[in-house]
Amino acid sequence: MKAFQYATAHSFDSARELVADNGMYLAGGNDTLGLLKEYLVSPNILVNIKSLPGLDKIERGSDSWKIGALVTVAQIENDPQIAKTFPGLQQAAAEVGSQQIRNVASVGGNLAQHSRCWYFRHRDTLCMKKGGDLCYARHGENRYHSLFTGNTCISPVVSNLATAFAALDAKAIVLRDGKETPMTMAKLYQGAWENPQSHNSLKPGDLIVRVEIPTARTSSAFIQMSDKQAFDWALVSCAAAANLSGGKLNSPRVAVGCISPVPWQVEAANQFLDGKELTDDVASQAADMILKGAEPHEHNGYKIPMAHALIRRTLLKLKG
Amino acid sequence: MPSWPAETKYISKNTLRIDAPEKVTGRARYSSDIQEKGWLYGMILRSKWPAAKIKSINLDKARQMPGIKAAVLSPAIEERQKNGADLTLRFYGEEIAAVAGTSKSACIDALKAIEVDVEPNDNFVVLEDDAKAPDAPRVWADAPNVGDSKPKETGDVDSAFGECAAVIEGFYTTPVQIHNPMETHGSTTSWTDAGVTCWSSTQGITSVKNGLAGALNLDHDKVRVITDFMGGGFGAKFNPGPHTVMAAKLSQAAKAPVRLMLTRFDQALAVGNRPSSFQKIKMGATADGMLHAFEFDNYGTAGIGGGAATGGGGSGVTLPAPYPTYKVPNTRVKQASVAINAGGATAFRAPAHPPGCYGFESAMDDLAVKLGVDPVEFRIKNAVTEIHKKEFKLGAEKFGWKDKYKKPGSSAGVVKTGVGCASAAWPAGGPNNKTQGEAQINPDGSIEFRLGVQDIGTGSKTVIAIIAADLLGLTPEQITVKVGDTNYPPGPGSGGSTTTASISPTIYDICTKALTQLQTQSGIADARGKNWKAACKKLGVSPLVVHGNWIEGLSTKPAYGVQFAEVDVDTDTGLVTVKKIVAIHDCGLIVNQITTESQINGGIIMGMGYALFEERVMDDLSGVVLNPNFETYKLATMGDIPEIEVTLLNMPERGVIGIGEPATVPTAAAIGNAVANAIGVRVYSLPITPAKVLAALGKVPKANSATT
C-alpha cells in the first residue's frame, strides 16, 4: 500500500475536514485494509472515527431504534433485545464473516464495504469498476454475480446488514456536508445500480452515522446460503419483515441480497403479500414476482432457484 | 529375520506427540520464525501476464530504494539471459526477480520499482478445452499443447461390451487443486564464506540440500538444511524451488540472512498443483455382476508442465485406470496431458489417485445402479484383494449400510439423504531402504536419536521415540529425538507415505545394535528397562554412538482402505452437507494409533474439500488465477467437518506401512456417490457446488444469451 497519514477525529467537523484531502474514514478497517493492500485505493489520509461521540450507542425508542455506525456486528449478533425485536437483523449479523471479523466490523463499515467481485479485487485485472472499459465478469466467471443490474457491471451488494435493514425499512443517516441525510437502503445503493464505478451512493466525505429502524414490523427473518457452513459469503441471502396478525401479513417487505447491486426489492411483491395469509403457495407466488425479469449469465443461473427457495423459506420463517 | 515384538507398551497404543508442548506453547520454531542476526525480508516479482516476452529488465532502481540490500533475477531468467535465449514468460505468476530489504513494505515498493519492459502476448490459453483445439495458441512454440496419447489395450474391449448385461457412460471431471499447507513455502537462508545454511519449510531436507548445491554450484558439504518444525507439506515441498535459490543469492549479495516465505497469493500461482482431469468412461459388467469391459479417455492439465513439449507427463495427469482395487479383463485406456498457460503441476497427496478414484468409483456406482445390484456387494465381488473385501464388509457393518442404502433419489422430502462408498489402494508406501540414523547413549542413561529425516507434522519424532522406548524398555519421555538437519545421517524425503516404513526399521536396527554393544561393554546381559542406567554407567567417560540402517523384514506395502459417506442434499438450494464419514484403513503394524487416526482425519477433511469446495479458477480473458486467496479458494473449516469414525486394521505381521496418502483418496468419490444416491442423478464434476447440484436436478434456467 502507499504511505498515508493517520489522524483521529474527535468532532464531526474535523473528521470531514481531515478526510477532504483524498482521505478515507477508518472504523473496523476490515474492508479498508484489504482495499489498501491490493492498491485498490490509495488515500492520502486515514481518519480514525472511533473517537467520534455517540456513534457506538444503541438507542431503543418505541417507534424506532437508533443503531450507531460504530456498533459492532458482534454486538448486534449478541444483543438479546435485538434478537427479540429484530430477529432478522440478529440472524444477518451472525452470518457475517468470522467471529474475529464480527468483533471489529462496524455497522457503518458493513454497509459501506466495497464490491467483492473477484475481478474488482484482483490486483491485475482492470475492470469497469476500476475505470477499465470491460466487465470481465459478464464475459467470464460470474458464478457469484448479479441477476439484475442497471448498468454494465454485475457486481452484487453483499452486505448482510443492508439486506436485513431493507426488509425492516430502516434508513441509514448519512452526514453529508454537515447535514443529516436519511437514505433508505434502496437509496444508499442506488449509485451502484446506475454507475459501474460505484458500490453505493456515498460521496467523498459522506459518513454513515447511524441506522434508524422502525419497530413497526414485529416479525423478521434472514437466511443466507453459502458454499461453506461458516466464514463464507452468501451466494444468495434473503430478509423478510412484517406484522403478523391472525396468520395474515401486514406491511410485509422482502429483500434479496447478492443478486443485484442493491438489496433487491420488488414493491409489487410486497403489495401482493400485504393482507395475505402466509402459505407455501403465497410465498412461492411472491418469489416469482421478485425474480421476474432476472437475467442469468453463464454461471449464475442457479441463483434463481436458490433465491426462490430462500424467499419462500424466509417468509415462512416469519411465522416463527 | 527380525520381527516386531508381540507384546508392546507403546507400539500400536496411543502416545501424544512428544513435541506437542513446544507446538502448543509457540516455542516450536518454524522456518518462518527463524530470526538470524541482521535478517532481511525477501519478496518475489511475478509475471502479470499469462504470456509475454521480456525485452529488457533492470534491477538498478530497485536496488537503490530505501531499505533494499539486494536484488536478483530468477534463476530461469538469469540462465536464459546468459545463453542469449528469449526471455519468455509462460504463465501468470512466473518468477521474474526478487529483492531483499529491511521491511516488507520496502520490498513491495522495490518490486514496483523494477523496470521490466515486456511485450505481452495475447495468444495464450488457460482452459483445457480451448488448449486442445487444433488452432489453439501454443504454450510451447515448438510442440503441440496435447501430449502423446497412444491407447493401451488389454483383451478385446469392443467385443467385450457386446457381452455385457449393462453398460454405462459418463464424463467425470475434477479441477486443479492448489497446494495450501498452513505454512507457505519458503525459507530463511544464509550464505556466508563458510557455506549456505537454509532453514527450509521442506519435506525433504536432503533433496533441498542437493538441489540448492546444484543451483548454486556449491559442493554438497557447503550446504546445510535445517527443518526443526514445519507446517505441512503435501508433495510440493521437496525441492528448493526458485524462491529458495533466490533467497540464497539475495543473501550472498546482501551479506545477510534472507527470509523469503511465499504469500498465500504466491502459493496459488507457482508452487505446483494437482492436475485437472476430464475422464470419459464407458464401463460394462456381465449379468453375474462381474466387471467386463472398460474404456477410458482422459485428459488433464499440468499447466506449462503438460503437453508434447514436456513429454506428455506432468505429475499426476496420468490416472490409475482401471482403478487398481478392481480388475477389468478388457480395457482400452487413453490419456493425454494438455499444456496451458498456468503454473505447473507437482506431486500432491497421492498423485493421480483422488481423481482416478473419483472417476472410476463414480462409474462403479452408476453401473451398480444400472445392474440393479447393491453397490457394496458389487464392489466386494470385483475387489482384487481379500483385505479390500474385508474392509468393505466391516465398513458396511459399522456404517449401517444395509439400513441406510435406498434406491437413488427415493429419500422423501426436500432435503434428501444419500450414502456412498469408495476404495483406495496406495501402491507406494513402502520404505526408502537407504535410510540411516544414529543414537548417542550417554553414561547417565540419556539417549539421543539423530536422523536426517524431517517431521512434516505427522508425528515422525514420536514414532522414533515410541519404537525406541519399546525396544529399549524405556519410556518415550526418556528418548530425545533430533531430526531435520542434513548434518545427521541421511533419511528419506517425507513423501509417498514412506517415512514411517523407512525410519521404523532403522530405529529397530539402531536399538538392536545398541543393546548388543551395551552388553559387550557393560557385561550386563540384558541392558533393557531397569538395567538400562546401570549398563550405561559402565560406559565410563565416552558415550556410545551406534549407527543403524534400514533393514529388511519389518516394513512393506501397499496400504488399502475404504470410506463410506452419508450426506444431506437440499434439493431446493443445492447445498450438500456431509453428515458422517466411516473410514476403514490398514497400514500393517500401527506404530502410534492416535497420530495414525489424525492422519486419516486430515486426509478425509482434505478429501472433503476436494469434493465440495476446492477449485482453481482461471479467467480466460485475462489469464489470471481468479481465486488466489482463502476467500474464494475455499477450504473446509470446522463448521463443515462431519462426524468421522476411523477404524484401523492392525496387521503387525505385515510390518510397517505408510498411511498419509491413501487416507485422502476415496473421500471425494464416496461423497460424490452419496450425493448421486440422495438426488437420483449424478453431478459429474468436482467440486460439487450448490450450482452444480441444482443444474443436475434440471432447476437452472439457461443463460440469457443477450447479456453474456
Chain A residues whose CB is inside 8 A of the B639 CB are 228-231
Domain final residue pick, B226, B261, B296: B261
If asked whether residues B362 and B224 sit together in one domain, one would say: no
Residues 72-101 (A) with a CB less than 8 A from some CB of B: none
Is residue B166 in a domain?
Answer: no
**Residues A120, A137: contact at Cβ < 8 Å?**
no
Interface check for B631 against chain A (CB to CB < 8 A): the answer is yes
Average confidence (pLDDT) over A66-77: 98
Q: Which residue has the higher pLDDT, B706 or B51?
A: B51
pLDDT digits (tens, 9 = 90+) for A247-289: 899 999 999 999 999 999 999 999 999 999 999 999 999 999 9
d(CA B321, CA B296): 7
C-alpha distance from A198 to closest chain B C-alpha (Å): 21
- Identify which of B92, B574, B701 has the shortest CB distance to residue A296: B701
pLDDT of residue B149: 75
If asked whether residues B525 and B672 sit together in one domain, one would say: no
If asked whether residues B380 and B352 sit together in one domain, one would say: yes
Could you tell me the three cell numbers for B616?
Answer: 482453481
C-alpha distance from B603 to closest chain A C-alpha (Å): 18
Please give the full DSSP string across B312-336, using - where no structure is assigned: T--TTTS--SS-TTB--SEEEEEEE
If asked whether residues B231 and B301 sit together in one domain, one would say: no
If asked whether residues A84 and A11 sit together in one domain, one would say: no
- How confident is residue A26, by pLDDT bands cut at 50, 70 and 90? very high
If asked whether residues B617 and B679 sit together in one domain, one would say: yes
- How confident is residue B182, by pLDDT bands cut at 50, 70 and 90? very high
Is residue B176 in a domain?
Answer: no
CA geometry: angle B18, B23, B29, nearest 5 deg:
110
The H or E element spanning position B53 is strand B52-58
Domain count, chain A: 2
Chain A residues whose CB is inside 8 A of the B632 CB are 118, 144
Average confidence (pLDDT) over A194-220: 97
If asked whether residues B439 and B409 sit together in one domain, one would say: no
Look at chain B and count its residues.
Answer: 708
What single DSSP character describes residue B229? B
pLDDT of residue B437: 98
Interface check for A296 against chain B (CB to CB < 8 A): the answer is yes
pLDDT digits (tens, 9 = 90+) for B419-453: 999 999 998 767 899 999 999 999 999 999 999 99
- How confident is residue A117, by pLDDT bands cut at 50, 70 and 90? very high
If asked whether residues B416 and B500 sit together in one domain, one would say: no
If asked whether residues B517 and B419 sit together in one domain, one would say: no
> Average pLDDT, whole number, for chain B?
96
- How confident is residue B705, by pLDDT bands cut at 50, 70 and 90? low
pLDDT of residue B704: 63
**A297: number of Cβ within 10 Å:** 23
Residues 215-234 (A) with a CB less than 8 A from some CB of B: 225, 227-233
Is 70 exceeded by the pLDDT of residue B324? yes
Question: Residue A41 sits in a domain of what CATH number?
Answer: 3.30.43.10
If asked whether residues B417 and B354 sit together in one domain, one would say: yes
**A229/B577 touch (CB, cutoff 8 Å), yes or no:** yes
Is 90 exceeded by the pLDDT of residue B708? no
pLDDT of residue B569: 98
Is residue A144 in a domain?
Answer: no
Return the minimum-mean-pLDDT range out of B86-90, B149-153, B659-663: B149-153
> Average pLDDT, whole number, for chain A?
97
Return the minimum-mean-pLDDT range out of B247-256, B372-381, B488-497: B488-497
pLDDT of residue A207: 98
Peptide bond into B240 cis (omega under 30): no
**Residues B351, B345: contact at Cβ < 8 Å?**
no
- How confident is residue B314, by pLDDT bands cut at 50, 70 and 90? low
pLDDT of residue B311: 65
If asked whether residues B521 and B565 sit together in one domain, one would say: no
By CB neighbour count within 10 A (0-12 exposed, 13-18 middle, 19+ buried), where does B64 fall? exposed
d(CA B692, CA B172): 13
Domain final residue pick, B197, B229, B261: B261
If asked whether residues A86 and A213 sit together in one domain, one would say: yes
Is residue B418 in a domain?
Answer: yes
Average confidence (pLDDT) over A66-93: 98
Residue of B nearest to A232 (CA): B631
Is residue A270 in a domain?
Answer: yes
Could you tell me the three cell numbers for B661?
Answer: 496418502
Please give the full DSSP string across B614-651, using - where no structure is assigned: ----B-TTT--BS--STTTS----GGG--EEEEEEE--
Pairing label, strands B186-192, B258-261? antiparallel
Domain final residue pick, B215, B235, B261: B261
pLDDT digits (tens, 9 = 90+) for B226-245: 999 999 999 999 999 999 99
Chain B residues whose CB is inside 8 A of the A295 CB are 704, 707
pLDDT of residue A246: 87
Range of the domain at A188: 58-113+155-317
CA distances for B701 relative to A146, A148, B166, B308, angstroms: 15, 15, 32, 39
Interface check for B707 against chain A (CB to CB < 8 A): the answer is yes
If asked whether residues A176 and A309 sit together in one domain, one would say: yes
d(CA B4, CA A268): 78
Is 80 exceeded by the pLDDT of residue B310? no
DSSP H helical ranges for B157-224: 157-162, 205-216
The H or E element spanning position B478 is none
If asked whether residues B217 and B291 sit together in one domain, one would say: no
**B640/A230 touch (CB, cutoff 8 Å), yes or no:** yes
If asked whether residues A18 and A96 sit together in one domain, one would say: no
Is residue A130 in a domain?
Answer: no
Is residue B674 in a domain?
Answer: yes
pLDDT digits (tens, 9 = 90+) for A134-143: 999 999 999 9
**A227/B613 touch (CB, cutoff 8 Å), yes or no:** yes
Pairing label, strands B177-178, B273-274? antiparallel
**Cβ density class B260-280: b for 16+ within 10 Å, e for less:** bbbeeebbbbbbbbbbbbbbb
The H or E element spanning position B504 is helix B499-522
Q: What is the share, in percent, of chain B residues with pLDDT greater than 70?
A: 99
Chain A residues whose CB is inside 8 A of the B105 CB are 1
d(CA A168, CA B235): 52
Nearest Cα to Cα of residue B166 among B459, B330, B303, B367: B367
If asked whether residues B631 and B583 sit together in one domain, one would say: yes
If asked whether residues A169 and A46 sit together in one domain, one would say: no
Please enumerate in sequence order all residues whose Cβ is within 8 A of that of B407, keeping only pairs 6 or more positions apart, or say none.
Answer: none
If asked whether residues A8 and A95 sit together in one domain, one would say: no
| Largest distance between two CA atoms of chain B | 92
C-alpha distance from A33 to closest chain B C-alpha (Å): 14
The CA radius of gyration of chain A, in Å to the nearest whole number, is 19
Torsion from C-alpha of A232, A238, A241, A242, nearest 10 degrees? -150
d(CA B680, CA B611): 18
Is 80 exceeded by the pLDDT of residue B610? yes
By CB neighbour count within 10 A (0-12 exposed, 13-18 middle, 19+ buried), where does A218 fall? middle
Q: Which amino acid is at B329?
A: P
Residue of A nearest to B702 (CA): A301
Interface check for A316 against chain B (CB to CB < 8 A): the answer is no
Could you tell me the three cell numbers for A86?
Answer: 429484530
Complex ipTM > 0.85: yes
If asked whether residues A76 and A175 sit together in one domain, one would say: yes
Question: Residue A213 sits in a domain of what CATH number?
Answer: 3.30.390.50
Is 80 exceeded by the pLDDT of residue A216? yes
Q: Which residue has the cell 480466460?
A: B620
**B622/A306 touch (CB, cutoff 8 Å), yes or no:** no
Question: Residue B503 sits in a domain of what CATH number?
Answer: 3.30.365.10
What single DSSP character describes residue B508? H
Q: Phi first, then psi: what are they for B130, rounded to 5°?
A: -65, -40
Is residue A118 in a domain?
Answer: no
Is 90 exceeded by the pLDDT of residue A187? yes
If asked whether residues A26 and A162 sit together in one domain, one would say: no
Domain count, chain B: 3
pLDDT digits (tens, 9 = 90+) for B22-36: 999 999 999 989 999
Range of the domain at B587: 274-428+557-696
